[in-house]
Amino acid sequence: MEFRYLGNSGFKVSEITFGNWLTHGSQVENDVASQCVRAALDAGISTFDTADVYANTAAETVLGEALKGERRESLEIFTKVFGPTGPKGKNDLGLSRKHIMDSVNGSLRRLQTDYIDLYQAHRYDFETPLEETMQAFADIVRQGKALYIGVSEWTADQLREGHKLSKELGFQLISNQPQYSMLWRVIEAEVVPASEELGVSQIVWSPMAQGVLSGKYLPGQPAPEGSRATDEKGGAKMISRWMRDDVLQGVQDLKPIAEEAGLSMPQLAVAWVLQNPNVASAIVGASRPEQIADSVAAAGVKLDPDVLKKIDDAIGALGERDPAQTKSPATREA
């Protein structure tokens, strides 16, 4: 495993982060989830990402149980706040001071830890003054409940505003968690340049485009039984944007490139996002423990410029690049 600094800080994270968004607490039995976490630890992953909204808090509980007994100082545990939790009452979502303070205490309890390494604003909240949100984060840092603060899916302008306030309030905004893959490159035009200017790193989710970049979905053929594209609990909706024959054919054109590089398709996808120097870590998930080793092998891989050009030629205009696609819901109910 290789490690990188997160933003303009002295905090290091593993290049591969284990995330339990679409699996733990909902789609995977708890004992299998624990086996996946154990496999991640055995493979050298020390960084774990979750959120209170995942499976309506159950994912945090599963992760806390799975990590119990590990040396806390050797782990980097990330979680997030914004989405609706609990009975989803009027103050059970957003980035108000009340919701943030209630949520951080709940996350600490479920994760069975005294502190969160990185506490993240899961989206931008247009209904709460940014000053209120950032003051709450500043207080959480001073209380020792979180060591660092990050955000997720914020635009370049939102990052600049948040970063300015964090400096004024005496803490550091060090990370952003966007979607990023060969097929979803919307952060490249604006978010990455702003982040480099501010000293903010990307911790990217869905580097395999919900599994499409694994190459297992073939043009003109139905999705394999039991795959994410057939999962009506949430996976099928997310992956549907890429289940077109032109996209699936472009992905198939990556296979000889991966073979030439001596990589599996998932390894090529994860290694590709890690070539961006502003990316500190790529989040991978697993529904089976044996899936972990394949992703971890992408750590430390250097792709030659000619390989990167071949990837661009294969994917071409199929990749989404519009920076306007980085967005948060206009209202909390959206």
Pair 228, 284: CB distance under 8 Å:
no
Instruction: Tell me phi and psi for residue 286, to 5 degrees.
Output: -160, 140
DSSP 297: T
- From CA 326, how far away is CA 4, in angstroms rounded? 25
Pair 229, 247: CB distance under 8 Å:
no
- Residue 64: name the closest of 25, 15, 118, 22 by CA: 25
Dihedral angle, C-alpha 139, 142, 148, 149, nearest 10 °: 10
Q: Which residues of 129-167 are buried (b: 16+ CB within 10 A; e: fewer)?
A: ebeebbebbbbbbeeebbbbbbbbbbbbebbbbbbebbe
- Annotated catalytic residue within 5, 54, 115, 217: 54
Cβ atoms within 10 A of the Cβ of 114, count? Answer: 9
User: How does DSSP assign 118-147, residue by residue?
Assistant: EEEESS--TTS-HHHHHHHHHHHHHTTSEE
Q: Indicate the SS3 state at residue 247.
A: helix
Tell me whether residue 54 is one of the annotated catalytic residues. yes
Q: Indicate the SS3 state at residue 248.
A: helix
Sequence-separated (6 or more) residues with CB below 8 Å from residue 142: none
User: How does DSSP assign 47-87, residue by residue?
Assistant: EEE--TTGGGGHHHHHHHHHHTTS-GGG-EEEEEE-S--TT
Q: So which residues are the catalytic ones?
A: 54
